[in-house]
Structure 1
Amino acid sequence: MIVYRLSRGPYRNDLSGKGAELAGGRWNSKGTAILYTSESIALCTVEIAVHMPLGIVPRDYHLVRIQFPDTASIKEFAEDELPEDWKSFPHANSTQELGDAFVQEAEHLVLKVPSATVQGNFNYLLNPRHPDFRQVTVVDTVPFDFDKRLFVK
């Protein structure tokens, strides 16, 4: 399966989940490495846009196409299985606990979760601690220019 992420140039080939480990996110606490990816380029774009201040167009980003085996073990959370506050802003600790448990259990390579930003779309979180993670590869990377209209004040 092919998934996508947008990364700054120097990190475009880094699949370690280190950025998420350092900062934490909706699906992981600080200290837990996880690789955030999306099912589409459009969803990646929105996921970056919601974290940028208005008026600042992101620069030096690359679109990264990542492949994991079609036979990969995937754990999926449907919206009705998630805590009520799963889409809250700022994000809730309840979703971080779910993601942290997913990583620590290392039972599945992939966690499929609904996007909090685009209804009906999904993010795929990859577990760098899973034994099959070595089968995750960067297919290619290309420079990515954001449409400035997304960031107009």
Structure 2
Amino acid sequence: MILFRTLHKTYFNTWKDYEKGSSFISGARWNKANTPVMYMSSNVQNAMLEATNYAKNPKSANRKFVMGVFDCPPLRLYEIRPEELPAQWNEYPFIPETQAIGSEKLLSDEYDGIVVPSCTINLDLARSPVNEVRRSIYANVVLNPEKEAVREMKLLETFSPVFSNRMFL
């Protein structure tokens, strides 16, 4: 399985050190604090889109990030269903309900991670009854880096710049 992640240029060589990341230390949308976690994407476009949460524009993103391409063995992933999404699942700051849902699945012996929608995309798309529409935005893959399959994941290569210089001319 190929996964993608925008990595800060300063830290891309230490991408396995999840304990130093803010998602582990403080919690994030799909995990409580101190839950082992690594946020990835199943496609490069979504990984690029997620980077915009942390950069003011494509030029600043290109200065800060590289795109990492990862290879990992088959994963046992639980897909959060639309009916499981709390009403304000995409709000910031993160709500305890999404953190509880994610942490429960991430810590379960049954799964290596979860597949969740991106909060950067229209909320109605995440709740679409049409599987093909919904699947197009269920591209965030949230992994527990302590699971055996995830520990075997390898960084294949990095690419820079992340965004085309033509973005938002």
Relative to the length of structure 1, the TM-score reads: 0.83
Cα offsets for 1:25-49 (capped at 9, x unmatched): 1111222221101122221121121
How far residue 54 of structure 1 moved from its aligned partner, in angstroms, is 6.1
Q: Percent identity?
A: 26
SS of corresponding position for 1:80: helix
Alignment of 1:21-100 (within 5 A): 21-53=24-56, 57-58=60-61, 59-70=63-74, 72-100=75-103
Which structure has more helix as a fraction of its residues? 2
The 10-residue stretch of structure 1 (52-61 or 126-135) with the greater mean CA deviation from structure 2: 52-61
Contact 2:42 2:140 in 1 (8 A): yes
The 10-residue stretch of structure 1 (55-64 or 74-83) with the greater mean CA deviation from structure 2: 55-64
Q: Which runs of 5+ in 2 are unaligned?
A: 126-135
How far residue 53 of structure 1 moved from its aligned partner, in angstroms, is 4.1
Relative to the length of structure 2, the TM-score reads: 0.76
Q: Which runs of 5+ in 1 are unaligned?
A: none
CA gap of 1:148–1:93, structure 2 versus 1, over 3 A, is farther
CA gap of 1:116–1:91, structure 2 versus 1, over 3 A, is same
How far residue 150 of structure 1 moved from its aligned partner, in angstroms, is 6.2
Q: Which amino acid aligns with 1:50?
A: N
How far residue 101 of structure 1 moved from its aligned partner, in angstroms, is 1.5
Which structure has more strand as a fraction of its residues? 1
